[in-house]
Amino acid sequence: MASKKKGSKKTEAVNENIIRDERYRLLFEASQDAIMFLDRERFFDCNPATLKMFGLTKEEFIKRHPSEISPPRQSNGKTSREEADRRIAEAFTEGTNKFEWIHRRSSGEDFAATVWLTAFPLEGRDVLQATVREISPSDESLADLELHRLKLQMLLDEQTKGFVMEKDDRKRAEKEVKRLIKAVESSINAVAFFDMDLNFIYANNALCRLARIERDDLKNRNASDFIPPKSMKVIMENIRRLIDGQEIEVFEVKSLTAQGQELWIEIAGSVLFSDLGEPEGLLAIINDVTERKRIQKALEESEEKFKSLVERSLDGILIILDGKVAYMNPALIKLSGYSLKEQLGRDFIENVAPEARQDVMVKYKSRMAGGNVPQIYETILMAKDGTRIPIEVNAGVMEFLGEPADFVYLRDLTERRKAMDDFRIIKDRLEYVLGATKTGYDIIDPDYNVVYVDPAWTKTLGDYQGKKCYEYFKGMKKPCNICGIQEALKSKKTIVTEEYLMKENRYTEVHTIPFE
């Protein structure tokens, strides 16, 4: 910490701004969303959530290109490098870009994520902020907020000690503040600062959208303008507990938009204290849970309907309690050949093929202990008559009779496996016949992307999977006039054309055959 020096009014003003805007650093560091900054070629900064998501150190992450934390190809068949460069270019052109992406952790595990790119100027150059949120079946935007709240409090305590920086330190801090301000402004979580009377001091864009109000209209407004009296009592009680040094859980209350529309919100709060230990401000991170509350209410009101759906499900449904069968729906009873009476209280693992039991049991125990195990996997079910049935397992922990239980969907894969085997045989035969007749074939989608390439063609033409057919074969920027793809799709008939292939410098007869 630098010693305090007497400086100009400008220097003092800079220090005051840095101290005031230190809150942005706290939010950036404590955010559960992975937030990172990059230019057109590489990342140059990120928050701890990013490092946790990818399993990397900051030194390992910085200077990487987005394609280097992704599998070689994306789901559309294009290379991650090509697709990432395109998305980055669009964000710089349009200002923002939101899309879904397949990322890869350092462990090699791939996962789907939603990515928000936002362009902004920094020190005379254009850069991007990227916010990455993993897509999961049970995604909740404020998960683990209590941990973040504690971290915020610790960092806020450090803030109150005050600081004065040398010239170089101030410059570095000012750069950091610009990035952190942008992170808070672009956050998908609503963030607000209040004085101790709950008058608004600051609100980010997400909060203004949530309250459906312009930022300027929040001046001289109080939280009570948006919170009904009953909910305000809950908030004041939690503030009192925070001031007394007690810990509080994330809590839910009703709120109102500027137009009076009712919302349910989830709040994680923290109190800011002065050097003398006096409370001087409040920080709130807010999430809209209206839809979640609506779904919860609908589920409560439709318990019987839900039970009926389970009973009529075409997939087998199994509930495992303490390792034993606690429930089987009619579909699973039919699939296994056992009656419910025969199965209740039986060790569930006895229904699994012997060679697969160890793997299934390890997954079950780990899942019940809160471990990170695959939710969906395949195994073999042993029917009562000894038939081995390939099944897809989709399992998750739920409460049953007041105890944690494994809720399992079981899907019979027999027909799917047979169809895949039939397709594989047909494909092998087709490749053999076409290879013998020296006829090459590709599969091209309606957007002219090559999604499958005849292996025989790659030997002479290279691997062009994921590329536009007209770009690769003809060096054109748009589909050629005589292309038969759209006509074949529209007419559902085979279209025959004679086309010039620039790669081979020859004309060839092309048969475009539509299929689903």
DSSP letter (8 states) at residue 344? T
Q: How far apart are CA 183 and CA 373, in angstroms?
A: 32
pLDDT at 513 over 60: yes
Apex 319 CA angle, 318 and 321, nearest 5? 145
**pLDDT band of 58, cuts 50, 70, 90:** very high
Q: How far apart are CA 187 and CA 85, in angstroms?
A: 23
Q: Are residues 214 and 233 in the same domain?
A: yes
Domain assignment present for 219: yes
What percent of the chain has a predicted confidence (pLDDT) above 70?
A: 78
Question: What pLDDT, on a 0 to 100 scale, did the predictor assign at position 156?
Answer: 40
Q: Are residues 132 and 184 in the same domain?
A: no
- Nearest residue to 280 via CA among 271, 288, 289: 271
Q: Indicate if the alpha-carbon torsion angle 461, 462, 463, 466 is positive or negative.
A: negative
Residue 274 identity: S
Q: How far apart are CA 255 and CA 266, in angstroms?
A: 10
Q: How far apart are CA 462 and CA 320, in angstroms?
A: 52
Locate 509 and state its tokens.
């007869």
DSSP letter (8 states) at residue 88? H
Domain assignment present for 17: no
CA 271 to chain centre: 30
Question: What pLDDT, on a 0 to 100 scale, did the predictor assign at position 503?
Answer: 66
Domain assignment present for 422: no
Domain assignment present for 14: no
Question: Residue 408 is inside which H or E element, if any?
Answer: strand 403-412
Q: How far apart are CA 183 and CA 31, in angstroms?
A: 10
Q: Are residues 254 and 341 in the same domain?
A: no
Q: Is there a contact between 315 and 413 (Cβ–Cβ < 8 Å)?
A: no
Q: Which one is predicted more confidently, 387 or 248?
A: 387
Q: Are residues 290 and 185 in the same domain?
A: yes
Question: What pLDDT, on a 0 to 100 scale, did the predictor assign at position 170?
Answer: 56
- Nearest residue to 285 via CA among 158, 156, 141, 138: 141
Q: How far apart are CA 396 and CA 320, in angstroms?
A: 10
Task: Indicate the residue among 412, 447, 467 that finishes a domain.
Answer: 412
Task: Indicate the residue among 245, 280, 295 that finishes a domain.
Answer: 295
Question: What pLDDT, on a 0 to 100 scale, did the predictor assign at position 139?
Answer: 41
Total residues found in the chain within this entry: 516
Q: How far apart are CA 147 and CA 58, in angstroms?
A: 21
DSSP β-ladder status, 262-273 and 376-382: unpaired
Tell if the pTM clears 0.85, that is, is over it.
no
Domain count, the chain: 4
397-405 average pLDDT score? 82
Q: Nearest 5°: phi and psi at 132?
A: -115, 125
Q: Are residues 90 and 183 in the same domain?
A: no
pLDDT tens for each residue of 112-154: 888 999 888 887 888 999 999 887 543 433 333 333 333 344 3
- Nearest residue to 270 via CA among 159, 142, 152, 181: 152
Lowest mean pLDDT among 91-95, 319-323, 344-348, 437-441: 437-441
pLDDT at 444 over 70: yes
Question: What pLDDT, on a 0 to 100 scale, did the predictor assign at position 429?
Answer: 67
Determine the structural domain holding residue 258 and report its residue range: 167-295
How does 89-126 read in b/e, with b if 16+ C-beta sit within 10 Å?
eebeeeeebeeebbbbeeeeeeeebebbbbbbebeeee
Q: How far apart are CA 104 and CA 55, in angstroms?
A: 10
Tell me how far CA of residue 70 lies from CA of 54, 82, 87, 100, in angstroms: 10, 12, 14, 12
pLDDT at 173 over 60: no
- Nearest residue to 73 via CA among 443, 457, 466: 466
Average pLDDT taken over every residue of the chain:
79
Q: How far apart are CA 511 and CA 515, in angstroms?
A: 13
Q: Are residues 174 and 286 in the same domain?
A: yes
Q: Is there a contact between 504 and 491 (Cβ–Cβ < 8 Å)?
A: no
Question: What pLDDT, on a 0 to 100 scale, did the predictor assign at position 454?
Answer: 74
Task: Indicate the residue among 265, 295, 325 that finishes a domain.
Answer: 295
Question: What pLDDT, on a 0 to 100 scale, did the predictor assign at position 385?
Answer: 94
Q: Are residues 291 and 310 in the same domain?
A: no
Locate 466 and state its tokens.
């994921």
Q: What CATH number is associated with residue 240?
A: 3.30.450.20
